[in-house]
Structure 1
Amino acid sequence: MTEFRRAYGAAPWHLVLLLGCFAVTGWIALRLAGEPAAGRMLLWFLGAVVAHDLVLFPVYASVDRVLRAALGRRGGPSALNHVRVPALGAGLLFLVSLPGILGLGDGTYASATGLAPRPLLGRWLAVSGALFAASALLYLARRLRHGPG
């Protein structure tokens, strides 16, 4: 076992999981091969990869570095993850809600759900605020339990 770990660089379950991911990816690629919109999906996927790697990752890595420097490491629970987790949730929810917030596909959304897409911005703001509020309350509870500084 240690010989495998030394040669591969990780545990055997990592290789099994990775092979499973490749199998699922291959199955999806085969399913999409006959689709007429497969080229557009591939273009969208590549655009998302480029946008993430060249734009989003440097932005959130820089923000994380600034937050780590600002918050530092003091006694008690760290506030950093209490900012990271709701920010991640709000960011992902924003990306999912963005077409509706921008009004793209209003007719499709209305015909599929029977709802008007206009309140999506307010709903996103409310859910994001709730995520940050819940995280702040959890941080406060942890700080109170830990005691003074």
Structure 2
Amino acid sequence: MKRPHPRHLPHPHLSRDGIRRRYGASPLHLLLVLCSFALAIYAGIRLLKGEPIKVALWFVGAALAHDLLLLPLYTLTDRAAQTLADRLGRVPHGPHSPRVPAVNYVRVPAFLSLLLLAVWYPLVLRRVPGYRNTTGLDPDPFLDHWLLITAALFALSALCLLTATIRHRPPKPHPAKAP
């Protein structure tokens, strides 16, 4: 059998397994990370074309507000929710899987609701003075819509918690029959 010329063999570092060994994840993951970096660089260049001093001040202010105000606030809130959930117990999540903290059923809808509020807060809190004149749309429904979405997220999470609790509840013991 004829061996292929060494020039035609794949380089061991460029093969899928070689990239996985050296990088720690799949080549697709590496490609997606590089694409996200390219997108972030593009957005940064476009953003800094306007007023770079104001943009830099906004980023510094946002980082300080997050680290000094929001992080302690949601850390304390999460710890309080964990303490309450630990008192209530854990939810079984499958025959061979570990029990899941019930606080996770509060974390996910709370995170999604706060993320929506962070993105849409000027409209939710009616802080856009010329919105109606500029767009021709009514800004009033945004608060109602955000509240409805938040209620739906928590209701869906409660339904998931109820389903997990009922599906994996231990069977009731049968009373022993007397002879």
Instruction: Please give the range of the TM-score, normalised by the shorter of the 2 chains.
Output: 0.7 to 0.9
Instruction: Note the alpha carbon deviations across 1:65-113, whole angstroms, 9 max, x for none.
Output: 2222221253514321110000001111122232123322231x22454
1:24 has 2:71 as partner: no
Q: Give the counterpart of 1:82 among 100, 105, 112.
A: 105
Preserved CA contact (<8 Å) 1:68 1:80: yes
Aligned to 2:81: 67
Instruction: Note the alpha carbon deviations across 1:17-39, whole angstroms, 9 max, x for none.
Output: 6655444333333223332x333
Instruction: Note the alpha carbon deviations across 1:3-30, whole angstroms, 9 max, x for none.
Output: 857xxxx658677766554443333332
Aligned to 1:132: 154
Once residues 147 and 109 of structure 2 are traced to their aligned partners in structure 1, the CA distance between those partners, rounded to angstroms, is 12
How far apart are 1:115 and its partner, in Å? 1.6
1:40 has 2:45 as partner: no
TM-score, with normalisation over the residues of structure 2? 0.65
TM-score, with normalisation over the residues of structure 1? 0.76
Preserved CA contact (<8 Å) 2:48 2:55: no
Greater mean alpha carbon deviation, residues 98-107 or residues 49-58: 98-107
Identity %: 40
Report which structure shows greater RCO (CA 8 Å, sep ≥6).
Answer: 1
Query: Between Structure 1 and Structure 2, which shows a larger proportion of helix residues?
Result: 1
Q: Which is higher, the Rg of structure 1 or of structure 2?
A: 2
User: Gaps (5+ residues) in structure 1?
Assistant: none
C-alpha change, 1:130 and 1:3, in structure 2 (3 Å) is closer
Greater mean alpha carbon deviation, residues 125-134 or residues 20-29: 20-29
User: Gaps (5+ residues) in structure 2?
Assistant: 1-17, 94-100, 172-179
Name the Cα RMSD after superposition.
2.7
